[in-house]
Amino acid sequence: MTTYWGVDCGSTEIKVVACDDAGRVLHRHRRRTLFPLIEHVRGALAGDGDFENPLVDGGARVAEGHFVTATGYGRGHLDFAQDKLTEIRAHYLGVRHQLGAELPPGQDYAIIDIGGQDSKVITVKTGDVDQFIINRKCAAGTGAFIEELAHRLRIELASLPELERRHDAELTLNSYCTVFAAQEVIKVLMEGQRVENLIHALYRSVVKRVLEMTVVTAPSVVFSGGVLTHHEPLRRMFGEKLPGKRFLLAPEAQFCGAIGAALHGLERARKQAAPPVHPSPSQEKHP
Amino acid sequence: MTARANVKEVMKEYLLDLDQAAQDGRRKVAWCTSVGPAEILRAAGYEVFFPENHGALLGATRMSMDTIPVANAAGYSPDICSYLTSDVGAWMKGITPLTQAYGIKSVPKPDLLVYNTNQCKDVMHWFEFYARELKVPIYGVHSPNHLPEVTAAHEDAVVAQLKGLIALTEQLTGKRFDEEAFRQSLALSKQATDLWAEVLATARARPSPLSFFDATIYMGPIVVLRGTEVARDYYVAQLAELKAKIAAGEAAVPGETKRLYWDGMPVWGRLRSLSDLFKRNHTAVVASTYCNSWIFSDFDAADPLRTMARAYLKIFINRNDAYKERYIADTVREFGIDGVVFLEAKTCPNNSNSQYNLPARLRAKGVRSVVVNGDLCDLRCFSDEQAATVLEAFLETL
């Protein structure tokens, strides 16, 4: 039996899962992305000692019986990883695995993932990724934008959703640029505006930036990734902006990429184990 | 000798000769935009230097990252053409990549500056800087832009301006313009450009013997040596070599499984890493807008002025979107291409063709594409990580 590991090496957090060869998640672990990256990824794979470590030889290689697949922005830096895929496909595989019963192959849907340094809208058609779009280089519409403004406001990230619910006025943050948006925030605060209203405007701005990237035509929308898990007002606002659609939050939204990576490894193993559909030329000649 | 070694030698000899010409009071140097009337300048006795080639060198060597900020600080915006800011910044800083490559101290000082706005208007601002700085004559061919079709009226407008250029060269050199030399120059250009088209067409083979990244190097002579025997002879050799590769089944990308089209500018400072990324993914970039832009099939030495005007008006960048849509869709079909990469260059909107809904219209025709944000020379506008993710994710969908 092989354990299939997925490492989602994001800009903010490293997420790790281990799956068995039926695709069941056996173990999950996450920690802040710190540097040197490879050391912290090794630490994430070792976890808290409550599960097997797939790495041996001081973390230089993967042990027999384990298969490690990497995704996320840091995937190219993990020398020991046996396979790699982009977070676009990884999130799709993770969502499909978790919500397969609700999203049968014939049903088109969109996945919205807001990550630490990018946001993505993935369109799934006829059971596979059809198109995707990633935000441009600036941080607007990403977790980094929310973090930066929370930092400017000296407010804990975790308390933003609760504060947002107490807003009583509609404000608008116009800027694409985090620095300019921070200037807008300071200006509005100097004018005496309540911070709750600013946080509401901040969330609205993120939703607006994401929806500016593409037209979501699919009837269902799946939320994936940590930012959408922890910031309920964003999910509510997407619902308001996209009326008539069905919204689903992936049960382990934060681990979607890592689960997808692990399943990619499992799929690969299954393909390699499967007998060829047609006999190869050599088999034809030498039955 | 390999083709790449050949092209290096051709470019080296060209630049060393230009350097000598600039220091020889008897020889004259003209600067010309890359799709400007070089054949007229050669016939008038000028050696021709192309600042865009210098801009590409600054980008490829990443010296541009030191020179762009100099131009920015002097008042040239970070949002304008980074060929311009790379090159003007290099001039202001007194450096050039030609020094390390060839021992040349400075770009060759011009006696005449000639631009054509068939590419964009930034070339005008660029050459005007040098006209002020060096106090040399400047002549602009102001082309009708973004044309659905090239008509006789459009050609007339350009022919009149080319005649004006000829008159100026006669005045500056004190010699009557040599019509026969012009015909010969254009005839040589025609031979070279037809060969270049054949070179690019070898990428129709599966596997392709040629990738976009090779072609950005091989294209040097068709840009800077049009109108010469050197360019024609180089492409004769280059074509033979590529045909031999096809015969031997030699692939530019071993194990080629996917084939792409590249639209827009190259990212000069990332040619190697992008080439490696595609190779890792067994993907050959087999055709491009950029390299195809130096195919001038309309040249005809029997009617040199008019056919030159026509050819330089018909270039992709100077056409409307309906033309671009047809052109890309046709090329995708002809080369058996699986998808298109649009480079959206921050400082080159004129050659960023994804910005007016073209990807969506191509998709309706069954052409899949992806947009990569970046730039030709300004790596401040390019994220390696994001580009890799976007490109690899696109390849996963094909």
- Mean pLDDT on B129-153: 98
Domain that holds residue A13: 3-89+255-273
Structure tokens at B288: 């491009």
The helix or strand, by DSSP H or E, that contains position A197, with its residue range, turns out to be: helix A195-211
Structure tokens at B396: 């996963």
pLDDT digits (tens, 9 = 90+) for B308-367: 999 999 999 999 999 999 999 999 999 999 999 999 999 999 999 999 999 999 999 999
Task: Decide if A250 is inside a domain.
Answer: no
Cβ contacts (< 8 Å) between A213 and chain B: which residues?
A: none
pLDDT at A276 (0 to 100): 63
Strands A25-32 and A109-114, sheet pairing: unpaired
A86 touches chain B (CB under 8 A): yes
CB contact under 8 A, B396 and A88: yes
Nearest CA in chain B to A120: B390
Task: Decide if A112 is inside a domain.
Answer: no
**Most B CBs within 10 Å: which of A89, A130, A134, as the mutation test of the B interface?**
A134
Q: Give, in degrees to the nearest 5, the angle at Cα A121 between A117 and A124.
A: 140
Same domain, A11 and A73: yes
CB A244 within 8 A of CB A31: no
CB contact under 8 A, B386 and A130: no
Q: Which domains does chain B have, with CATH numbers?
A: 3-177 (3.40.50.11890)
Report the residue from A85, A134, A137 with minimal CB separation from B396: A85
pLDDT at A277 (0 to 100): 60
SS3 per-residue string spanning chain B: CCHHHHHHHHHHHHHHHHHHHHHCCCCEEEEECCCCCHHHHHHCCEEEECHHHHHHHHHHCCCHHHHHHHHHHCCCCCCCCHHHHHHHHHHHHCCCHHHHHHCCCCCCCCCEEEEECCCCCHHHHHHHHHHHHHCCCEEEECCCCCECCCCHHHHHHHHHHHHHHHHHHHHHHCCCCCHHHHHHHHHHHHHHHHHHHHHHHHHHCCCCCCCHHHHHHHCHHHHHCCCCHHHHHHHHHHHHHHHHHHHHCCCCCCCCCEEEEEECCCCHHHHHHHHHHHHHCCEEEEEEHHHHCCCCCCCCCCCHHHHHHHHHHCCHHHECHHHHHHHHHHHHHHCCCCEEEEEEECCCHHHCCCCCCHHHHHHHCCCCEEEEEECCCCHHHCCHHHHHHHHHHHHHHC
pLDDT band at B87, cuts 50/70/90? very high
Cβ contacts (< 8 Å) between B388 and chain A: which residues?
A: 76
Task: Decide if A118 is inside a domain.
Answer: no
Same domain, A263 and A197: no
d(Cα B175, Cα B270) in Å, to the nearest integer?
Answer: 45
pLDDT band at B390, cuts 50/70/90? very high
Percent of chain A with pLDDT over 70: 95
Nearest CA in chain B to A10: B385
A137 touches chain B (CB under 8 A): yes
pLDDT digits (tens, 9 = 90+) for A263-287: 999 999 999 988 766 544 443 333 3
pLDDT band at A172, cuts 50/70/90? confident
Among residues A207, A222, A241, the one where a domain terminates is: A207
| Phi, psi angle pair for B167, to nearest 5° | -60, -40
CB contact under 8 A, A137 and B385: no
Report the residue from A128, A132, A136 with minimal CB separation from B393: A132
Same domain, A23 and A83: yes
- Mean pLDDT on A191-218: 93
CB contact under 8 A, A132 and B397: yes
pLDDT band at B1, cuts 50/70/90? very low
Closest by alpha carbon to B9, among B110, B107, B106, B101? B101
Cβ contacts (< 8 Å) between A85 and chain B: which residues?
A: 392, 396
Q: For residue A63, give the CATH number of its domain.
A: 3.30.420.40
Among residues A207, A223, A245, the one where a domain terminates is: A207
A117 or B160, which is more confident?
Answer: B160
d(Cα B127, Cα B138) in Å, to the nearest integer?
Answer: 8
Percent of chain B with pLDDT over 90: 98
B272 or A181, which is more confident?
Answer: B272
d(Cα B304, Cα B295) in Å, to the nearest integer?
Answer: 16
From A283's Cα to the closest Cα of chain B, the distance in A is 23
SS3 A133: strand
Task: Decide if A188 is inside a domain.
Answer: yes
CB B212 within 8 A of CB B286: yes
CB contact under 8 A, A118 and B386: yes
**Most B CBs within 10 Å: which of A9, A93, A124, A131, as the mutation test of the B interface?**
A131
Nearest CA in chain A to B384: A73
Cβ contacts from A onto B, under 8 A: 33
pLDDT at A279 (0 to 100): 46
pLDDT band at B376, cuts 50/70/90? very high
Task: Decide if A114 is inside a domain.
Answer: no
d(Cα A210, Cα A193) in Å, to the nearest integer?
Answer: 26
CB contact under 8 A, A87 and B389: yes
CB B347 within 8 A of CB B376: yes
Token look-up 């990403």 returns A142
Report the residue from B373, B381, B396 with minimal CB separation from A129: B396
Tell whether the model's pLDDT for residue B93 goes beyond 90: yes
CB contact under 8 A, B397 and A130: yes
pLDDT digits (tens, 9 = 90+) for B214-231: 999 999 999 999 999 999
B364 touches chain A (CB under 8 A): no
pLDDT at A145 (0 to 100): 86
Indicate the length of chain B as a whole number.
398
pLDDT at A278 (0 to 100): 58
d(Cα A224, Cα A72) in Å, to the nearest integer?
Answer: 14
Task: Decide if A203 is inside a domain.
Answer: yes
CB contact under 8 A, A86 and B381: no
Task: Decide if A13 is inside a domain.
Answer: yes
A142-151, A188-197, B187-196: the lowest-pLDDT one? A142-151
- Give how far Cα A279 sits from Cα of A83, A272, A283, Å: 27, 15, 6
A130 touches chain B (CB under 8 A): yes
Task: Decide if A59 is inside a domain.
Answer: yes
d(Cα B125, Cα B81) in Å, to the nearest integer?
Answer: 10
CB contact under 8 A, A137 and B390: no
d(Cα B138, Cα A148) in Å, to the nearest integer?
Answer: 50
CB A248 within 8 A of CB A34: no
Cβ contacts (< 8 Å) between B373 and chain A: which residues?
A: 136-137
Same domain, A14 and A78: yes
Tell whether the model's pLDDT for residue B182 goes beyond 70: yes
**Count of domains observed in chain A:** 2
pLDDT at B15 (0 to 100): 98
- Mean pLDDT on B369-388: 95
- Give me the sheet containing A246-249, strands edge to edge: A128-134, A119-125, A109-114, A220-224, A246-249
pLDDT band at A182, cuts 50/70/90? confident
| Phi, psi angle pair for A25, to nearest 5° | -75, 120
Closest by alpha carbon to A21, among A224, A272, A250, A275? A272
- Average pLDDT value for chain B: 96
